[in-house]
Every structure is written in structure tokens, then in C-alpha cells.
Structure 1
Amino acid sequence: MTEIYHGAQLRSGRYSQNGQIYLITAVTYNREPFFNDLRAGRLLVHQFRQAQLDCWVESLAWVVMPDHFHWLIDLRHSDLSTLALATKSRAARNINAHLKRSGQFWQRGFHDRALRREEDVLTVARYILANPLRAGLVRRVHDYSLWDAIWV
């Protein structure tokens, strides 16, 4: 990473550090529940797996909700903005084709949070995986199809 790039990241308020654990959240445009379609959700999951195959991240946990996702990652050989842009754009292209639609798929940007302590990781992973329960989509996490964690 060059000094110019590093400075630009600091000015924008977002700083990526390889080896840091982050929680990334992105929301669909107008909170449309595109991921009620299981295939659409699987197409997004494929992009999570592709990012890992590309050695950009190690995926620790994720859940795809009807209108957003939470993705807990260990950042490897990428930066947050590149990772989020690539994942969201590839997924949007594939999901729009599957749903036979065009136009904006995601809200602009994404939210990220760096985890500071090792004990935060399991707490955040549990929170992520409990999203379908809190939303009333299922009675048990295992009844929901669009989630995974390395500890399972």
C-alpha cells in the first residue's frame, strides 16, 4: 500500500489493515428483500467464497438476511473498499441476471467495524448468526439456510 493510498484512506475515515478482523454489513437498495429467493442468497454466498479463494479474506461467519448481509472476516490481501465493491458488484450482476431484473441492487457503501479484542470475535459471530432468530424468520438457527461459521 502506498503512502498516497494510505493517506486517502485516512481522509475518508476508513482504514484497512491486513490481519485485522472486521464485520462488514451491506444493505440492498430500498431494503428490497431480494434474498427471500434462496438462489439469490446462494449467489451472494458464492462471492463470499470467491473472496476467500482469491486470498482476500478468511471468512469467519456470515448471514444473508432478506435485505442485507453481515460478514465477519479476517482481512488478508485486499482492502475493505476493494473487497466490498468487488463482492457487491459481482453479486449484483449475477443476482440481477437470475432475477431477470436490472438497475441498482445495493445501497451505496457499506458499514464496517474492526474488532479490537479476541473475545469479541465469538460474541460478534453469535450475534450475526442469531439475526434470523431475532427477525422471527426461524425458531432455530439451524432452520435458516443462509449462514455459516468456521466454528460449526
Structure 2
Amino acid sequence: MPRRARKKSRSGIYHVIVRGANRQEIFHKEEDRLRFLETLKRYKIENDIEVLAWCLMDNHVHLLLKEKDKTISDLMKRLGISYASYYNWIYGTNGHLFQDRFKSENVETNGYLATVVRYIHMNPVKAGLVRGPEEYVWSSCSNYYGKRSYPVDLLTSSLVFALFSPEKEKAQMLIKEFHERQCDDKCLSAWGEKRVRLRDEEARGEIMEVLGDLEIPQVKSLPGRERDEVLKRVKKIEGLSQRQAARILGVSVYLVNRA
């Protein structure tokens, strides 16, 4: 069955989510995130797309994009192919890195635009990675708080600032207040449901159940093929991240991801 065409946003603005296939992590180190952002910057210039916000999580990415003559689909296709090629080359993998095509929702009112910006920036806070959204270096939040983040010139902030005040410094203050307000924003989510992350103690118990008679310290010493089969079963544990599994089992994230 052919894919249904995306409904065009009246404002040209879209909240976009890119997800790792089978929830796999798509970033393992700082260089991966830098590469993704640099690639996004290159293609946003070539496609004349404005990036209004972003947040890079371990296994998915939130982007807020405004298209002009060219569509966001052109940008996302080139971005996906380029980053997947880099990833497969660096980690010696093959196959699909991303889950299907990207998800998107139309952002057509000023009120919802402000809400989506906050929702994107609050992702790492809700995940328990930081206490305040500006502390997370892999989002555009610090730009809106009056600080600079890498890469320079990726963000187009004027449209969002204008929602709060024509004066930039006042807009920054009001955006910060808006972000810190008690909220329960309901926007497009990466996986369609809330996924509870296991605490390490809970994760160990779940892993031990999967291992059966095998002890956790023995996993890293198993022959390659046998170890990979064990890691495949471990990866299916709901609420267990690949990084967490690697830490508990004493193996590299690369081995867990590749299995």
C-alpha cells in the first residue's frame, strides 16, 4: 500500500521526530551528536529550511522545522542517508539505523508553537538526565536562554522570540519563565506511549531472569556468537537502555547495539 502523503502545514512549521530502529541508540559518543548537528546544518542551508528547535536524545531526535520552497522531506531524506552512512562506517554495522520514515505533526498556531518548543526542550528533564532544560547541551534551549551552543548559526530563533516580546532580552526572560512553568504538554511523542526506565537494581533483576543459570560476569567471556544471542534477549527487556545493559554486563555499548 502506498504511503499517505503528509498533510501540509499552513504555517510551514513541523515538529519532527527521528527514531532509532527497534529503539536502538543512534548516538553513543559526543562525536556522533556533533556529526548529526553539522549534517543538519549543512542540509538546512542547502534546502533553505529553518531549524527552530532541536533535542538529541540517545535513541531519537526532536526537530522543529520551517520549510519554504523545498519540503522537510527532502531535508530529512538527505540527513538520514548521510548520518546512517557515517554511523555504519564508524561502527562497522549495516542495515537500517532509523525506524521507518520520520514522524511529524503540523504546528499551525502561535500558542502550539511555544508549547512544542518547551516540550522539545523538556525531554531530557522528563527523562531524568538534567534538572533544568538549559543544562542539557544537546538541545537548543541554552540559545533561547541567551547563551550560545554548538553549532553556531544552526538555530533560527527570531520567530519564537517574537511570540514573547519584540525585545530580545525580555523575550529570553519570558521564555525561561514559560519553560519553568508547571506543565503537562501533550505533543507528538517518539514511541507513542510513556516508557518507564528501569533503575539499575531492577535492571539487574530482569537481566538475571533472562540469563537463567548464566551469571552476569560470565556474559562478557562468552564466545562471540553465543554472547550476541544473549545480548539480543537482554535488549528486549522493556525499560532497559542499551547503555545501561552495557554497563551492568561489563561490555561495550557497541557490542550491545550490534547484537
Compute the TM-score of the two structures, normalised by the length of structure 1. 0.82
Query: Runs of 5+ in structure 1 lacking a partner?
Result: 1-8
Q: 2:54: which partner in 1?
A: 62
Q: 2:36: which partner in 1?
A: 44
Find out whether 1:113 has 2:105 as its counterpart.
yes
Deviations 1:47-85 (A, max 9, x none): 221122214310000001100001001112322322221
Query: Runs of 5+ in structure 2 lacking a partner?
Result: 146-259
Using a 3 Å threshold, how does the CA distance of structure 1 residues 143 and 99 change in structure 2: closer, same or farther? farther
> How many aligned positions are there?
143
Distance 1:97 1:18 in 2: 39
Distance 1:25 1:38 in 2: 20
Deviations 1:82-109 (A, max 9, x none): 2221111111112222333322211111
In structure 2, what residue type is equivalent to 1:88? G
Offset of residue 130 of structure 1: 0.7
Distance 2:31 2:89 in 1: 11
In structure 1, what residue type is equivalent to 2:70? S
Q: 1:21: which partner in 2?
A: 13
- Cα contact 2:47–2:74 (8 A) shared by 1: no
- Cα contact 1:16–1:79 (8 A) shared by 2: no
Distance 2:50 2:27 in 1: 23
Select 1:148's aligned residue among 127, 135, 140. 140
Select 1:100's aligned residue among 77, 84, 92. 92
Distance 2:10 2:39 in 1: 19
Distance 2:87 2:137 in 1: 17
Compare 135-144 and 120-129 and name the one that shifted more: 135-144
In structure 1, what residue type is equivalent to 2:52? L
Q: 2:238: which partner in 1?
A: none
Distance 2:20 2:114 in 1: 26
Select 2:120's aligned residue among 105, 118, 128. 128
Instruction: Give the SS at the match of 2:144.
Output: coil
- Give the fraction of aligned pairs with identical amino acids, expressed as a percent: 24
Offset of residue 27 of structure 1: 0.4
Over the aligned positions, Cα root-mean-square deviation in angstroms equals 2.2
- Cα contact 2:44–2:75 (8 A) shared by 1: no
In structure 2, what residue type is equivalent to 1:58? E
